[in-house]
Amino acid sequence: MLVDVGARYVIVGHSERRLNHSESNELVRRKAEAALAAGLTPIVCVGETLAERQAGRVAEIVGGQVRQSVPDSGGVVVAYEPVWAIGANSTPTMPEIAEVHRLIRETLQAKFGDEANRTRILYGGSVGPKNAAEIFPLTASMALW
């Protein structure tokens, strides 16, 4: 139905779905595979909670989500959305965003080799008028590196 109305992308694995509907990495991967089969590009959302960040588990959580949620065929967009920053007044620092983008890229490279360099990585999480000018140039330059 989404393709019929002209959609080209679909979000899977958003934190609200993962938390409120107990969507596992495996289910997110299967949804991404279904989206690809239907001719859509899935945007696979990944991100850690505040407790996970404070416990030093960002690499474990986000890396695991990328390894297990992204289909083996690739063909996705990955969106880093720290759960603790969505709809909040808290935003990661630019070095923190860059660190997680680098982690995502390295995890994709381990999974896909050089092909991973074509995967777009986005940032989302409390982007607004006060911080957009700082975040957008940083994440645009990182989207394909």
Catalytic residues: 14, 81
Is 101 exposed, middle or buried, given 0-12, 13-18 or 19+ CB atoms closer than 10 A?
buried
**Residue 97 near residue 137, CB atoms below 8 Å:** no
**Residue 49 near residue 83, CB atoms below 8 Å:** yes
Residue 20 corresponds to which tokens in the numbers above?
């409120």
Count, in order, helices (H) and strands (E) of the chain.
6, 4
Q: Which residue is associated with the tokens 């958003």?
A: 14
